[in-house]
Amino acid sequence: MNPAQLYSQPAPYLIVAAFLLAIGIFGLIRRRTLIGMLISGELIFAAASLNFMALNHFTAPDKSVGQIAVLFIMGIAAAEVAIALSIIIAVYRNYRSIVSKELNQLKG
C-alpha cells in the first residue's frame, strides 16, 4: 500500500471517526457543565457524519445518499443545539448554575 495513496483507503477516515466518537464519550463522562456535555455531543455527531461520508464514498453504489444523510444530520444537530441551549439558559435562570451536580431538584 502506497503511503501517498492513504486518502483513497477507507480505514483512516473510519479510525478518525472512531477517535471522535471515543473522545465525545469521554467528554460526555468527564464534563461537569451542561454546555461542555453539549459540545461533546456535537463531537459524536461529527463522528457519525464522517462515518456516513466515508462508507458512502467507498462502498455505496449511489454516492449521493450518504451526503443527503449527512445534510439531515447537520439539520438535526442545529435544531438540537438551539433547543438544548434554550433549556440550559432556562436552567441557569432558575438555579444560577449549570453544573450538572447541582441540578438535583425536581419540581413535582
Partner 1 sequence: MNTFPFSDWIVAAIFVLCIAVTVTGALIAAFTKRIIRSVSGLAVCCLGLAGLFYFLNSPFLALMEILIYIGAVCVTVVFGIMLTEPDEPAPENFKRPFPVISPLISLAIGGAVFVGIAWLSFKQAWTAPATVTNDGSIESIGKALLTTYSVPFELISLVLLVAILGALVIARSGRTKE
Tell which positions 20-49 bind partner 1, by CB under 8 A. Answer: 20-27, 29-36, 38-40, 42-43, 46, 49
Per-position x/- string for 49-78, each x denoting binding to partner 1 as judged by CB under 8 A, each - no binding: xx--xxxxxxxxxxxxx-xx-xxx-xxxxx
Closest separation between CB of residue 104 and partner 1, Å? 14
d(CA 92, CA 101): 13
Residues touching partner 1, count (CB under 8 A): 81
Extract the C-alpha cell encoding 41: 455531543
Query: How far apart (Å, rounded) are the C-alpha atoms in residues 105 and 72?
Result: 35
- Using CB under 8 A as the binding rule, whether residue 100 contacts partner 1 is answered as no
Between CA 77 and CA 48 the distance in angstroms is: 11
